[in-house]
Amino acid sequence: MKIKENYSLKKLNTFNIDVSAKYFIAVKTENEILKLINDESLTTEKKVILGGGSNILFTKDFDGIIIKNEIPGIEIIEESNGDVLVKAGGGVVWDDFVSYAVENGFGGVENLTYIPGTVGAAPIQNIGAYGVEQQDVFHSAEALFLKDGIKKTFNKDESKFGYRSSVFKSAYRNKLIITSVIYRLTKNPIPNISYRALASEFENRDVKSITIKEINDTVKNIRKSKLPEPSVIGNAGSFFKNPEINKFRFDRLKKEYKDIVYYKIDDNTIKIPAGWLIEKCKFKGRKFGNTGTYKNQALVIVNYGDATGEEIVEFSRKIQHAVYEKFNIDIRPEVNII
């Protein structure tokens, strides 16, 4: 375990923002975390936990210590005829975990393929895609508090999951590091094709005949067609959360916009894709200096090579203002801005 000073973070964030951290350390075990916590010279330093760097936007050099979670390992810890509990280290690449599940015939996360990041970051953001959220299969998470090294296991209720939110993102933000997560997967998967894009892909198929491998491959292909590779064009995937509005406001919008895309949450709550709102404001594919929105998906803000974090934030605010002016809807960043 080696602490590095004035460490470049450009290759550790998918926006490829050229900033540095005062201190940087990659941890691979709980003991390394405890050793770091007990280092008196670092007690007063600000701390940020970094997973895959895929949901973060740095606006300046970080005056503190960046702790990169690289704790490995995937193992089955309990198994029955129908379910299996799989434990993964916080530093495991999320898509590697999804591939492991699919290859072993364990259902539950196949819709969540091709999402950048790590297992330890998944509960923080409560990642979701194509009709599924990680909370749907979440069992528990182990974490170490950075202040005193106390270890705690969080069950699903304690995690307080919401839309792209959790207790880890709110009350415990950068106060703990998730060392491992346990997911309850099924040996008898029932494909979830509730999401409109998936339903259309499998519209002539009996649901019972669809395999999780087919779901996985289909979602991956759809995402690849819409999202740019961070190694080619810097980005953090979806920049904004999809806003939710009440049915009264939705009915008024639908009268004006017959082509409105939406997803019903309950009898009085409708989710509107932020990408649709942004596209209607004519921001899809637009470029402003070194940044802009991706040509195939308006929800993705990209770095064309030399953008600073401040430039991207400024551009995101232009989008927010345009959407609010046109629709009176407030869209909020999904990306963590530091």
Q: Which residues are catalytic?
A: 164, 238, 334
The total number of residues shown for the chain amounts to 338
Find residue 69's DSSP bridge partners: 27
Residue type, 153: T
Cα–Cα separations (whole angstroms), residue 220 to 74, 96, 114, 294: 22, 13, 6, 18
Backbone phi, psi, residue 120, to 5°: -65, -25
219 three-class SS = helix
Instruction: Report the alpha-carbon distance of residue 279 to residue 297 in Å, rounded.
Output: 8
Beta carbons within 10 angstroms of residue 256's beta carbon: 8
Q: How is the beta sheet containing 138-145 ordered, strand by strand?
A: 74-79, 83-89, 176-186, 138-145, 151-155
Q: Is the dihedral of CA 299, 60, 14, 23 positive or negative?
A: negative
Which helix (H) or strand (E) segment holds residue 50: the answer is strand 46-50
By the 10 Å C-beta count (0-12 exposed, 13-18 middle, 19+ buried), 10 is classed as: middle
Question: Looking at residue 312, what DSSP letter applies?
Answer: H
